Amino acid sequence: MPAHLDPRLLRAFATVAEELHFTRAAVRLHVAQQALSRDVRRLERELGAELFVRTTRQVALTPDGERLLPHARRVLQAQDELLAAFGQARPLLVDLNSPGPTTARRVLHLARELAPGQELMARYESGLTGAAGELLAGRLDASFGRFAGLDPALRTGLAHQPVRYEPMAIVLPEGHRLAALEQVPVAELAGETVYAGAGNDRTPEWTGLARLLFERYGIELAPPAPLAVGEEEFQRMMARTRTPVLAVVDFPALPSTVSRPLVDPVPLSPLSLVWRRGLTHPALDALRRAAARLAAEQDWLRRPADGWVPAGDDVLMLSHGCH
């Protein structure tokens, strides 16, 4: 056993252990795959243990690799904390769910202003459930979404900070019977079939919220459909199916569609900033400060008198759940 281990070798090992794929791990670490393989082999020589079983089809941890992983993670966490304390933190990877002028993007932009010496890099994972696994594996640092909609097994490893009760809206194709209204009463959607992401395994927290609302007002949830990725595909599918889509009021305007806020009641989508429990990083501190400032300035956490939100969501938002 060597007297000292290079943390770089431990980071190479931990990243491969999380990805179980040398190419993906190399991309994540911004190194050549050959250099990554060399570092892992060097660590194995220094420890006198085989850490991975490698075949042409897969990579798996050996028992020694399984034993090393929690120790390596603790060492790397300590290193990250030390570097952060001296202003040398790694970039913070922040999932915004989707491009566009979202609440999450506003928080990110303010955080960059509050911590100009830190690097906060945007990612787009489409939904909080999809992002949660990435957060827990260390491939992402923060995300946004409906925390109460996560599987409880995922929530145990995550912390959250309420950011906003986002008013919901309905996106309608031009010419729809409700498109002429400035606001759409929820009851007017009774009998309509509305798309809310059913079948998208990255966003079940959103579909679950929609289902609770729809069941109350006799709205039919549109069946699973192929996921439309990007504005062009979304617009094309909308034009073909003419199915209204549940969204939030900040959903970007698209050609040949109109977005109308929902009222009577105002359905609310509870949005939290979510991160891996125990994570320390100066950019995360800035992100949390930005979220708190905007929430206070914009009154984002005040529920309208006629607002609707599931009781379970309300409990988590009011308890604040931050750790």
> pLDDT tens digits, residue range 189-224?
999 999 998 888 889 999 999 999 999 999 999 988
What band does 169 get if pLDDT is binned at 50, 70 and 90? very high
Q: Where does the pLDDT of residue 322 fall: very low under 50, low under 70, confident under 90, or very high at 90 and above?
A: very low
Confidence grade of residue 53 (pLDDT, cut at 50, 70, 90): very high
Kindly tell me if the per-residue pLDDT of 110 is higher than 50. yes
What are the residues whose beta carbons fall under 8 Å from the beta carbon of 301, sequence distance 6 or more? 162, 163, 164, 165, 295, 317
**CATH architecture designation of domain 167-267:** 3-Layer(aba) Sandwich (3.40)
Phi and psi, residue 190, nearest 5°: -55, 130
180 has a pLDDT exceeding 50:
yes
> Band of the pLDDT at 60, cuts 50, 70, 90?
very high
Name the average pLDDT for the chain.
88
Domain boundaries, the chain: 7-85, 92-165+269-319, 167-267
Per-residue pLDDT for 226 more than 80?
Answer: no
3-state secondary structure (DSSP) of residue 162: strand
**Percentage of the chain exceeding pLDDT 70:** 93
Using pLDDT thresholds of 50, 70 and 90, give the confidence band for residue 88: low
pLDDT band at 318 (very low <50, low <70, confident <90, very high): confident
The confidence score (pLDDT) of residue 86 equals 62
Average of pLDDT values for 82-90?
A: 67
Tens digit of each residue's pLDDT (9 = 90 or more) over 126-152:
899 999 989 988 889 999 999 999 999
> How many whole angstroms from its chain centre is CA 104?
10
- Please name the residue ranges forming H helices in 257-320: 282-298, 311-319
Just give the CATH number of 7-85.
1.10.10.10
Position 27 pLDDT exceeds 60: yes
167-267 and 92-165+269-319 share a CATH fold: yes
- How confident is the model at residue 87, as a pLDDT? 58
Token representation of residue 211: 């289902």
Share of the chain above pLDDT 90, in %: 55
Pair 306, 268: CB distance under 8 Å: no
pLDDT at 1: 55
Res. 90: pLDDT tops 60: yes
Residue 321 pLDDT > 60: no
CB 28 within 8 A of CB 15: yes
Q: How confident is the model at residue 18 (pLDDT cuts 50, 70, 90)?
A: confident
CATH topology of domain 92-165+269-319: D-Maltodextrin-Binding Protein; domain 2 (3.40.190)
How many secondary structure helices (H) and strands (E) does the chain include? Answer: 11, 13
Token pair in block for residue 186: 């929820």
Confidence at residue 2, expressed as pLDDT on a 0 to 100 scale: 62
Q: Cα(171)–Cα(160) distance, rounded to whole angstroms?
A: 29
